Amino acid sequence: MKQSNTVKDITQLSALEKAQQLALPSRQEMLARAPSVQRFWNENRTLLADAWQEWENQNKSMLKAPNESILDEELQTAVNNAWQKPSSEDAVKALWKEAAPGVYKAQFFAPEKLFELRDYLESVANADIPVRPPYGLVLNRYGAMLDERSEGYLAAPEFQAFYRELFDKYLRPIARLLFPEIMGYDAQTFGFSIKWQAGMDTSLRLHTDASAVTININMNLPGEDFTGSEVDFYDPASGNTTRLSFEPGTAMIHRGHVAHASQPILSGERSNMVLWLYGDHMQIPQPTSVDSVSIDARERWSIPSTERDNAAPF
């Protein structure tokens, strides 16, 4: 961050300039959950939101915010048809292949359009506005919190419109289609971006998520190769582990209680967006048989009327 101005100068600064003058808490303070860290984000929440609005307004002529046009065309078509005619939803389901027990994989972003999202996130990183990394994980050197319930989230209005559209139009009905029992446990959202980088934060041990459903979407550009960093999914029924890899723009979706781990990244970088769905006050369904849940297609293709709460997993 830049050096502080004099008190007289500060009174004349815009919200963006004031935000750029803030000194971000250290990584060590954030990992230790120091009281000063939460105080920093709470005291500056309004300032940061105003700064992102100002930043977006200043850069409108040269900054293209992401929108659904970067999604895979076949997925867009199937989802649009399902919203118009829910009985056609099988075309959406057919795009998701079971790659491991209870884990489905599909092309989500169009690889040739991913540069639009990555360019935008690069501009965000260069904005010099503090964002909170996902320090609930060991992997916290890069990335940002994306949901408004999170401290220090990426509050740029056009990005937030894109973020909400991902959940409301695509991810929630897809999750309901694949995992019917989550209906009623999917009104609340959570998300962050993160980068795995060789020689730094390299792996994540076996764990489950505090979500009803987790969606992990790769943001690597075509040709932006890496080795290692596979995701292992453990199946308690068989005791077997399935190891899966990401390709540019692909997504994996699974119930939050599915145990998974990330292998060390050996070379290159892997950029991902991780998104969760869960119920009010972080409620999640108990493991149950999908066969015991029956939902009308029209219910799946709907947006919950529940207000968003403030419960954040980390």
Q: Domain segments of the chain: what residues? A: 67-300
CATH topology classification for 67-300: Jelly Rolls (2.60.120)
Question: What single-letter amino acid sits at 111?
Answer: P
Identify the pLDDT of residue 240: 96
Identify the pLDDT of residue 301: 98
Secondary structure, 3-state, 156-194: CHHHHHHHHHHHHHHHHHHHHHHCHHHCCCCCEEEEEEE
**pLDDT, tens digit only, all 314 positions of the chain:** 555 555 546 678 999 999 999 998 887 888 788 899 999 999 999 999 999 999 999 999 888 899 999 999 999 999 999 999 999 999 999 999 999 999 999 999 999 999 999 999 999 999 999 999 886 554 445 689 999 999 999 999 999 999 999 999 999 999 999 999 999 999 999 999 998 888 776 668 899 999 999 999 999 999 999 999 999 999 999 999 999 999 999 999 999 999 999 999 999 999 999 999 999 999 999 876 555 678 899 999 999 999 999 988 88
Identify the pLDDT of residue 282: 95
Give Cα separations from 24 to 42, 45, 138, 153, 239 (angstroms).
Answer: 13, 13, 18, 13, 44
pTM of the model: 0.92
Identify the pLDDT of residue 11: 72
Identify the pLDDT of residue 8: 46
Identify the pLDDT of residue 202: 65
Among residues 156, 146, 205, the alpha carbon closest in space to that of 52 is found at: 156
